[in-house]
Amino acid sequence: MPGLEDLYREIILDHYRNPRNRGELPTPPAVRVEGFNPLCGDEIVVFLDVADDRVQDLRIGGQGCSISQSSASMMSAAVKGKTVAEARATIRAFKSLMSIHEQRLDGADDDGAGAGAGGPSVPEPEVKLGDLEALQGVVRFPVRIKCATLSWNTLAQGLDEAQETSATPS
């Protein structure tokens, strides 16, 4: 049975106690997107400044549990300064890290090699998750996966909106 130490790793608690990139950005030029977890009432606000196809800056607002807040904080550190394509690849890699449980339920095999129990079954090539891998323990607590992915889904929505905005001639 998974223990609390699998969930609350030190790096997660550090990001929870000292969240990075907390705050707001002026809109425009930034876009502001909100994400809600209807199960627990958590909400996250992502301010995203995308220019020249790159995440120039982002800030995180809202409130939530240690998992949702630390995940958002780590996410902000991971994608700030990255190109939109790199940010999207990071989102895919992170969500794949979070989807191990679902894949097992689907009966999908991870080719019998490589990633063992608890490891990412579909590694996204070229993406180094670094600190974010500390959140891997969350998949052993299925109810909490939505906490960890809330900010990432919100970021994905923000990237879509930012790209739509820049694609629209003003």
Partner 1 sequence: MALDVELVKKDFPILDQLVHGHRIVYLDSASSSQKPAAVLDAMQQLYETTYANVHRGVYSIAEESTRLYEEARTKVAAFLGAASTREVIFTKNVTEAINLVAYSWGRSNLGPGDAVLLTEMEHHANLVPWLQLKAERGIELRYLGVDGDGQLILDDLEQLVAGVKLVGLTLVSNVLGTLNPVAEVARVAHAAGALVLVDGAQYTPHFTTRVAELGCDFYGFTAHKMLGPTGIGCLWARESLLEAMPIFLGGGEMIRDVRLDGFTANELPWKFEAGTPPIAEAVGLGAAIDYLLAVGMADVRAHEIELTRYAMESLHERHGDDIRIFGPPDAEKRGGVLSFAYKDIHPHDISQVLDEVGVCVRAGHHCAKPLMRRLGVGATARASLYLYNDEADVDALSSALTSADRLFS
Contact track, partner 1, 131-170, x by CB under 8 A: ----------x--x--x-----------------------
* Number of alpha carbons in the 13 Å side-chain half-sphere of residue 168: 7
Work out how close the CB of 62 gets to partner 1 at its nearest, in angstroms, rounded to a whole number: 9
For residues 74 and 5, what is the distance between their CA atoms, to the nearest angstrom?
18
Enumerate residues 6+ apart whose C-beta is below 8 A from 38.
none
- State which of residues 15, 21, 25, 42 lies at the interface with partner 1 (CB under 8 A): 42
- Is 124 in a helix, a strand, or coil? coil
Any contact of residue 10 with partner 1 (CB under 8 A)?
A: no
Q: Please state, in angstroms and rounded to a whole number, the distance separating the CA atoms of residues 157 and 136.
A: 23
**Of positions 14, 20, 61, 65, contacts partner 1 by CB under 8 A:** 65
Block residue for tokens 């550190």: 77
11 binds partner 1 (CB under 8 A): no
Instruction: Answer for the pair 160, 27: CB distance below 8 angstroms, yes or no.
Output: no
Which residue stretch of 23-31, 63-71, 112-120, 158-166 sits at the interface with partner 1 (rule: CB under 8 A)?
63-71
Q: Residue 39 or residue 105: which is nearer to partner 1 going by CB?
A: 39
Spatial CB neighbours of 42, under 8 Å, sequence gap ≥ 6 = 36, 62, 63, 64, 65, 68, 147, 150
CB of 116 to partner 1, least distance (A): 24
- Asked if 43 touches partner 1 (CB under 8 A), the answer is yes
Provide, rounded to whole angstroms, the least separation between the CB of residue 41 and partner 1: 4
Nearer to partner 1, 30 or 150 (CB): 150
Task: State the nearest-atom distance from the C-beta of 63 to partner 1, in Å.
Answer: 6
- Closest by CA position to 134, among listed 118, 154, 122, 150: 118
**Binding stretches for partner 1 (CB under 8 A):** 1, 3-4, 7-8, 13, 16-17, 39-43, 63-67, 141, 144, 147
